Structure 1
Amino acid sequence: MNLSSAAGRYQIFVVSDATGATGELVVRAALAQFQVTGVEIRRLSNIRTVDEVGRAVEVAQATNAIIVHTLVSEELRQMMLREGRERGVETIDLIGPLLLRLSDQLRVPPLMQPGLFRQLGQEYLQRIEAIEYTVKHDDGQHPLGLDRAEIVLVGISRTSKTPLSIYLAGKGWRVANIPVILNLPLPSRLMTIDQSRVVGLIVGVDRLVELRRARLERKQTPVAETYAAAEKVRAELAYSRSLFRKAGWPVIDMTSKSIEEAASELLVLIAAPEATQPDERKAAGVARKRRGRTSPHMKAMQREDSRRE
């Protein structure tokens, strides 16, 4: 069939029940094998009824174009084939034969749901955005962005704040973590966000001393020897516990927990036990109540922090 239109250009219609991006990409990859110019690719997106298929074929006939389509519905694919034959329009089914062969090999039927690939792409992008946010807000960095955090972890050094944050970010959660430093107030911004998002982390004294000593052995830069001293560790833990208790934040003891176990417990604490994947994470986030409580103690800490700033 000659693709020449009235305007003297070749036309290919990419018909899709979603965006048509996949179909266009395949067509362009194929065209790269031909030394031709002047080929116009037009996307016809969100074609999901037999009437819309009929109109697409009618337009293609009027402009002397061919149709390349990625329709997952068997009904629409059959309709496209019939309409194309009746109107003398060449139709190329990119996805139908592949679905049939895969169904035979996998021994399961395809879902036949339009737009699933785009949804998967959005979930992937959501994960990437969550990881970028989490890395940027590690160890108390950029406190002005705390209001965008879905989870905030608070704890003294070596309580697994960063590993747990990164693990949760990989599940699609935006996580910030804030270090507790002995006798210093927490950032005032922390006290203005929804307090139901905040969770404290602790580790037993003996285990924490062991972790800090291991860090001292690996550390290239000088670190105070008291960093791994048992008395110093006890004082820091006592101070962090007092902050958590006064703020009313739930606490997770990381002493003998894996990161995966801690993540599951944390999601229960913030009333999202089912949230282990991005789509579930989103649903849980909508369902979760935004209590946003601010205790008198936290207000006092906020005023004190403001004076220091």
Structure 2
Amino acid sequence: MKQKEAVYVISDSVGETAEFVVKAVATQFNGGSVDIRRNSYVEDAEDIEDVIILARQNNRSIIAYTLVVPELKRYLDRRAAEEGILAIDLLQPLMKAFEQKFEKAPNQQPGLMRKLDDEYFRKIEAIEFAVKYDDGRDPRGIIRSDIVLIGVSRTSKTPLSMYLAHQRYKVANVPLVPEVKPPEELFNVPRNKCVGLVISPDKLNEIRRERLKALGLTSQANYASFERILEELDYAEKIMKRVGCPVINVSNKAVEETASLILDILKKERSHT
């Protein structure tokens, strides 16, 4: 009976990269009917030997591997040559090119791709969190967040939430409006987790007037009036004092600058607890 084509994938990490490459190549040959058998987290010669035994029993098999630990790679190359098994290093040609062209040495550390993936998914999770708990939509986010931002409208709460989310912080923000009672959860937030955002009345008036203009509304609306602005800022200050959180004036600061200040302040607060 004719043996089926098989590719044994060996990796000192998950092996997803190697399997993906093998599948991409296999699709070019009769629709990719090759049998792919992944062997993840290979850590020693014994793990490699298990695959060598299986591949030796099928003369229509190949070993494709992504091993970055030199000792494991050398062992696999030697044993495959001894057994007459074709073993392909999927990383070496490109790693060699990187090394020569960029004049850098590889880390030779397994699992780095998985760490990058984990970082990526944490960032996506934080972004989704910031969207879900933006503008006080759900007070449950206050308890679940890494950082809580509070302030009146147009103090950059949403842009700051998104910027910090890209740095993998889960951020909830809560608008402070005199007519709306803040959620009770806000007063249970630890001091080292919440930051109040304030702004000068002149700057806020300017921003709100521009906002109204962009919306096609008259700049004389109550939203941009000095009387209303002073009322909101006074109310916000009282709430921030009650919460007991540190406060940042965002009047002439870029989002990046304010975000850096937030992280510095919270780091100091947490180091004192």
* Structure 1 ranges of 4+ moved more than 6 A: 221-224
Match of residue 9, structure 2, among 11, 14, 23: 14
Contact 1:74 1:96 in 2 (8 A): no
- The 2-side partners of 1:36 and 1:267 are apart by 52
State the match for 1:39 in structure 2: 34
The 3-state SS of whatever aligns with 1:270 is helix
Equivalent residue in structure 1 for 2:52, among 57, 67, 72: 57
Paired amino acid for 1:117: M
**Alignment partner of 1:181 out of 177, 191, 212:** 177
Aligned pairs (5 A) from 1:238-253 = 238-253=234-249
Partner Cα separation in structure 1 for residue 202 and residue 251 of structure 2: 9
Preserved CA contact (<8 Å) 1:58 1:87:
no
SS at 1:271's partner residue? helix
Task: Tell whether 2:199 aligns with 1:203.
Answer: yes
Structure 1 230/40 Cα, relative in aligned 2: closer, same or farther at 3 Å?
same
Unpaired runs of at least 5, structure 1: 1-5, 274-287, 292-309
- Pick closer, same or farther for the CA change 1:269–1:118 going to 2, 3 Å: same
TM-score (norm 1): 0.82
The number of residue pairs the alignment matches comes to 272
Q: Equivalents in 2 of 1:214, 1:52: separation in Å?
A: 66
Does the alignment pair 1:102 with 2:98?
yes
What is the TM-score with the length of structure 2 in the denominator?
A: 0.92
Contact 1:183 1:239 in 2 (8 A): no
- Are 2:137 and 1:127 aligned? no
Give the Å deviation of 1:289: 6.9
Question: Any idea what SS the aligned residue of 1:33 has?
Answer: coil
Q: C-alpha distance in 2, partners of 1:138/1:163?
A: 10
Which amino acid in 1 is paired with 2:30?
Q
CA shift at 1:193, angstroms? 3.9
* Structure 2: 5+ residue stretches without partners: none
Residue-by-residue CA offset, 1:51-102 (whole Å, 9 max, x unaligned) = 3223322232134432000111222222111100111211111111221121
1:34 deviates by: 0.9
RMSD (CA atoms): 2.2
Deviates more, 1:56-65 or 1:224-233: 56-65
Tell me the secondary structure at the aligned position of residue 10 of structure 2: strand
Q: Distance in 2 between matches of 1:223 and 1:178?
A: 25
Shift of 1:9: 2.1
Amino acid in structure 2 at the alignment position of 1:203: I
Task: Point out the more displaced range, 30-39 or 151-160.
Answer: 30-39
Shift of 1:221: 6.6
Between 1:191-200 and 1:102-111, the stretch displaced more is 191-200
